[in-house]
Amino acid sequence: MNAHPRNWVAIGDLTDIPREGARVVKTDAGCIAVFRTADDKVYALDDRCPHKGGPLSQGIVHGTSVTCPLHNWVFDLATGLAQGADEGAVAMTAVRVEQGRILLAADDLARRSAS
């Protein structure tokens, strides 16, 4: 657990993203795919599949998973981990929704752009 309060950056409204859809946010740490599930949970993962770089934002969202559009690997949106027999993980950024606004953890982005 991070002892320091996080810095959050607003990237838009929840309603900007269709249910079971995604929106890409360009950051210094690269493109982040922000997903909205059917029940309005929001997750932020790198928009790059660890298999061969497929754009996860263009994948199919089902439940709390997304299927990569290129070769159908499935990733858990809550952990970033590949499911089934496939192995790999997508880097995640902490995200929360406050009064309908989507906020990304600026600390996570800064840490990743520095590495």
Residues that bind ligand FES (CB under 6 A): 49, 51-54, 68, 70-71, 73
Q: Report, in Å, the least distance between residue 78 CB and ligand FES.
A: 18
User: In 10 A of CB 102, how many CB atoms?
Assistant: 24
Q: Report, in Å, the least distance between residue 10 CB and ligand FES.
A: 29
Which has the closest alpha carbon to 23: 70, 51, 58?
A: 58
Query: Which of residues 88 and 100 has its CB atom nearest to ligand FES in the complex?
Result: 88
Query: Which of residues 81 and 94 has its CB atom nearest to ligand FES in the complex?
Result: 81
Q: Which residues contact 114 (CB under 8 A, 6 or more apart)?
A: none
Q: Report, in Å, the least distance between residue 22 CB and ligand FES.
A: 14
Instruction: Return d(Cα 38, Cα 53) in angstroms, integer.
Output: 25
Kind of pairing, strands 60-62 and 65-67? antiparallel
Q: Which residues contact 11 (CB under 8 A, 6 or more apart)?
A: 25, 34, 102, 103, 104
Q: Report, in Å, the least distance between residue 103 CB and ligand FES.
A: 27
